[in-house]
Structure 1
Amino acid sequence: MLTGIQTTFIGGDARQLEVIKKFIELDAAVTLIGFDNLESNFTGATKKDLTVDILRETDVLILPIVGTDDEGYVESIFCSRPLQLTEEHFESLNPKIVIYTGMAKDYLHNLSQKYNIQLVEILDRDDVAIYNSIPTVEGALMMAIQNTDITIHGSNCIVLGLGRVGMSMARALHALGASVRVGARKPEHLARIHEMGLIPFELKDLPEQVRNVDILYNTIPKLIVTPQIIAHMPLHTLIIDLASKPGGIDFRYAEKRGIKALLAPGLPGIVAPKTAGQIIANTLSRLVSDQMVNREGSV
């Protein structure tokens, strides 16, 4: 239970609603900032404006997946007014507060460090990334079905990278009957690909591997599908980039050559916001509960 813990939510999308529900169920004291246009009200939550007084009394501050932009603005689909976290707000924070977000840009990192505020980025966690790979893969399969005229079954697919998303993606394609080749650099990853019953190859061999590819999924967050690679692909190839920024596809050259290449950021929040929100809610509630236990133990 989170009884009495002063929790403030600033902005967010449909995923944030699941987190709010969870915290109310666990008896936290919940304040909502940037939810003015939310049609349904949460019993047990209070809507407030963004002020230093509210933040001064907050134990836990929960921001959206992308905490702020480079000027401190927080995105909220439930508010038509701009929300900006300024240095004045950071000055007023309870020194023992913990800020939770999905990923933080330099603005949020810098102010948190300046005022010695604990900042937790949950998308860095293995458990969250693995859970999130489930809706990511479902969304990626949907994109392939919508943008090709062939079945996944029997198609020639390539997955680049055997990280948390790459492994789930390769496994799903294999289960659907595709011929799956997976490119990796580490010997242990190549061994794991072989153990999974898939076809491993080293990334240096990518130019040869793409000559008959139907669908290519990239999960490596650096430019790997270069013009030299794209030049070897059949024109019917579909490329889907699942990597975090900056991605790994030369989209300009793909378009020039007439090959469809799609960027697919934030698929969990797009294709399954309820499930994605529940993943975040379960993780945050555990982290906050542990935070409070640790705080009480240090008193």
Structure 2
Amino acid sequence: MKAVFIDANPTLADVAERLHRATDIPLKVNRQADITPDQIPAVMGDADILIVDHTNVPTDIARQCPGLKHVVFLGTGARSYMNPEELAELDIEVHIIKGYGDTAVAECAFALMWASAKGFAAMDRGMRAGNWLRTDGVQLTGKTIGLIGFGGIAAEMARLASGCGMEVLAWNRSPKSHQGVKFVELDELLARSHVISLHLLLNDETRGFISAERIAKMRPGVILINTARGAVINEQAMIDALKTKQIGHAGLDVFDIEPLPANHPLTKIENVTLSAHSAFRTPEASDNLIEASLNHCRRIAGQK
């Protein structure tokens, strides 16, 4: 049994090679982070396990990998890169990794909230261009944050927000409770929250969840934070709302198309702070992520 990490960037490649044990199944680390799907079969050879970070794995490509029985996706959003049901029909099981970067992602969402509230990105851009741009910020202490979707990342975000004196509301598709968090109906959360932070998994039910209709129900001037998946927001509806200031500011780490294309409309709107899908990128989260992927391989291989 063999595994291939198909699209390792330099950081994750180094981590994988450091954490791989001599007693583990053989692991090939492909340091070609920009590999294309059509190149996967040649790199995979007859390996049984594909570890993938960010490369699409179309079903017809998986079919060309004769030994492939398991795909370990480095994260929770596998559906953005492959069709697990179609792969299951080929007897290929998809494994995901949860919780590896809850604190890292929450800290990014928290930072985007503060940067959005204070206008740091716009002032930085202006000052670099020789302009002295002074803006009025939003005082977050005493304000209300609404968390849409409540898992490990949202729980960490609740801890951070509570610590700075914010009231924390949350809505989740299934009933939950958490100390210091008030769970409310979605419409109440939309209407009351000064800040809305998205923590939804992407699936057929959540695609486009933040629609024009739901944006219209938000408090005017709301700060919208997204570190989940770009497609949970109707992007055009968000852009329209940013232009009218229904959304006062958006802090975004994820997008419909990644990397974000040059001259994308979001790059031309002042009341947006952009981050390059890097919320999880800390040494601690990287170690957690790769160790979890190797543990999947160990379990598959019948090792402890």
Please name the residue that 2:115 is paired with: 146
Do the aligned residues in 2 keep the contact of 1:19 with 1:280 (CA within 8 Å)?
no
Deviation at 1:87, TM superposition (A): 4.1
Deviation at 1:237, TM superposition (A): 2.4
* Correspondence list, 1:114-263, <5 A: 115-116=90-91, 118-123=92-97, 128=98, 130-149=99-118, 150-184=138-172, 186=174, 188-189=175-176, 192-193=177-178, 196-210=179-193, 213=194, 215-220=195-200, 221=202, 222=206, 223-231=208-216, 233=218, 235-244=220-229, 246-248=231-233, 250-258=237-245, 259=247, 260-263=249-252
Q: Secondary structure at the match of 2:161?
A: helix
* Correspondence list, 1:71-150, <5 A: 85=61, 87-88=63-64, 90=65, 92-93=66-67, 97-102=69-74, 103-104=78-79, 109=84, 112-113=87-88, 115-116=90-91, 118-123=92-97, 128=98, 130-149=99-118, 150=138
Query: What runs of 5+ residues in structure 1 fail to find an aligned partner?
Result: 38-48, 73-84
Deviation at 1:135, TM superposition (A): 0.9
Give the number of aligned pairs: 248
- Aligned partners of 1:36 and 1:279: how far apart in 2? 20
Q: Which has the larger radius of gyration?
A: 1
Q: Normalization by structure 2: what TM-score? A: 0.65
Deviations 1:35-64 (A, max 9, x none): 499xxxxxxxxxxx96659622x3433222
- Aligned partners of 2:33 and 2:212: how far apart in 1? 47
In the alignment, residue 263 of structure 1 is paired with which amino acid? L
Change in CA separation of 1:170 and 1:93 when aligned onto 2, cut-off 3 Å = same
In the alignment, residue 251 of structure 2 is paired with which amino acid? L
Do the aligned residues in 2 keep the contact of 1:6 with 1:30 (CA within 8 Å)?
yes
Do the aligned residues in 1 keep the contact of 2:148 with 2:172 (CA within 8 Å)?
yes
Greater Cα offset, 220-229 or 140-149: 220-229
**Root-mean-square deviation over aligned CA pairs:** 3.6
Q: Which has the higher helix share?
A: 1
Change in CA separation of 1:233 and 1:27 when aligned onto 2, cut-off 3 Å = closer
Greater Cα offset, 168-177 or 13-22: 13-22
Q: Secondary structure at the match of 2:254?
A: coil
Change in CA separation of 1:28 and 1:253 when aligned onto 2, cut-off 3 Å = same
- Aligned partners of 2:145 and 2:33: how far apart in 1? 46
Change in CA separation of 1:291 and 1:271 when aligned onto 2, cut-off 3 Å = closer
Deviation at 1:115, TM superposition (A): 4.0
- Aligned partners of 1:51 and 1:24: how far apart in 2? 25
Change in CA separation of 1:134 and 1:29 when aligned onto 2, cut-off 3 Å = same
Do the aligned residues in 2 keep the contact of 1:139 with 1:268 (CA within 8 Å)?
no
In the alignment, residue 164 of structure 2 is paired with which amino acid? L
Please name the residue that 1:265 is paired with: 254
Q: Normalization by structure 1: what TM-score? A: 0.66
In the alignment, residue 230 of structure 1 is paired with which amino acid? I
Identity %: 14
Do the aligned residues in 2 keep the contact of 1:70 with 1:105 (CA within 8 Å)?
no
* Correspondence list, 1:17-56, <5 A: 17-24=14-21, 28-35=25-32, 52=42, 55-56=45-46
* Residue from 7, 12, 20 that aligns with 2:3: 7
Do the aligned residues in 2 keep the contact of 1:159 with 1:216 (CA within 8 Å)?
yes
